A and B are shown apart, each in its own frame.
Chain A
Amino acid sequence: MVGIVIVSHSAKVAEGIRELALQMAAPNQQILAAGGMADQSIGTDAMLIKDAIVAANSGDGVVVMVDLGSAVLSAELAIEMLEDQALLVKIADAPILEGTIAATVEASVGRSLSQVVATAEGARDMHKQS
């Protein structure tokens, strides 16, 4: 099953989105929050993200969900620093909350990484009012 890592500048945001996603998740699905800095301040930490990616991988790869601008920089750096360069990992260009929920559902039914990423990115066009 594709793992999910949630990267936000705020640990609370990442943890909160994880909580919402878990409601839709399959048992044993790996959904990890990697928000904020080790000292609780606002920011993103490439080392923390890297560790979360490794932990979220169960062999089918990992999708990384990101919030604002520099979360992308830290996530890309984290991927570059992975010891196992064969680990499949992709950053979804998607809204972090809706994208994570969509990715969770897609991953929970055993879809491939590219399918999970495409579904997360599809969340960009989700409407709240018809």
Chain B
Amino acid sequence: MANVIRAIEALADVIIANKEKLTELDAAIGDADHGINMARGFEAVKAKLKTAQPDDIGAVLKLVGMTLISTVGGASGPLYGTAFLRAAAIAQGKTTVDGPMAGQMLAAAITGIKERGKAVQGEKTMLDALEPAYNAFQYGLSMNKTMAECLELAVNAAQDGVEYTKTIIATKGRASYLGERSLGHQDAGATSSYLILAALTQLAKKQSQAGEP
């Protein structure tokens, strides 16, 4: 439980620290607000976590989802909001997370994003980071790797996915207005998804070194 709250705080801090960078990426092919949106959302999440007393991981993730929905503002609000709410449904009543459950949460989050945004991989969105990350995570699980190791595989795949977004044309979201002019630019949402996974991986590594579950 405390681990999960710490994980949310860690990913909030990474997003807030990268506010400028994410906004710059969105400026090139969007409306220059992704970092501002996401930082505003995660500042609100941090503030709420200070006073809330969630009973289980589901409640923590629900709080995150609901807060993002009403504070982020851009497309990433309903998309990440839906993702966290779907993951929350898996974690309802749970106070610990193991590898398979983390995989299920990631799968549910991705399904939620796809249903909400009606995008698929290859359209220059956050899905281009998240889907390969999920596949790598599941591969790690099938090789009996630890959660930290699985996350490491996932984050590397997400990074490749972010690079891949430079080579494709946006067909969803605001960047799609630019058509071919979106080529060569890295997608902001894929980058924030990568940053979130990177923060979780960092923390999982630290915790496994410290011998925590």
Contact = CB atoms under 8 A, between A and B. Distances in A.
Interface in A57-89: 68-70, 73-74, 76-77
Interface residues of A, number: 19
Contacts of B73: 9, 37, 41-45
Interface stretch (B14-22, B64-72, B96-104, B134-142): B64-72
A42 B33 contact: yes
A47 interface: yes
B81 A77 contact: yes
A76 B199 CA distance: 30
A77 B70 contact: no
23 contacts: A38-B70, A38-B71, A43-B37, A43-B73, A43-B77, A44-B73, A45-B71, A45-B73, A46-B77, A46-B81, A70-B75, A70-B78, A70-B173, A73-B77, A73-B78, A73-B79, A73-B116, A73-B117, A74-B69, A76-B78, A76-B116, A77-B78, A77-B82
**Most B-side CB within 10 Å, residue of A39, A47, A68, A77:** A77
B40 to A, nearest CB: 8
B179 interface: no
Contacts of A69: 75, 173-174
Interface of B: 33, 37, 40, 66, 69-75, 77-79, 81-82, 116-117, 173-174
A74 B33 contact: no
**Most A-side CB within 10 Å, residue of B37, B70, B79:** B70
Contacts of B75: 69-70, 73
A118 interface: no
B105 to A, nearest CB: 19
Q: Which 5 A-B pairs have the closest CB atoms?
A: A43-B73, A70-B75, A73-B78, A47-B70, A77-B78
A76 B75 CA distance: 12
B117 to A, nearest CB: 6
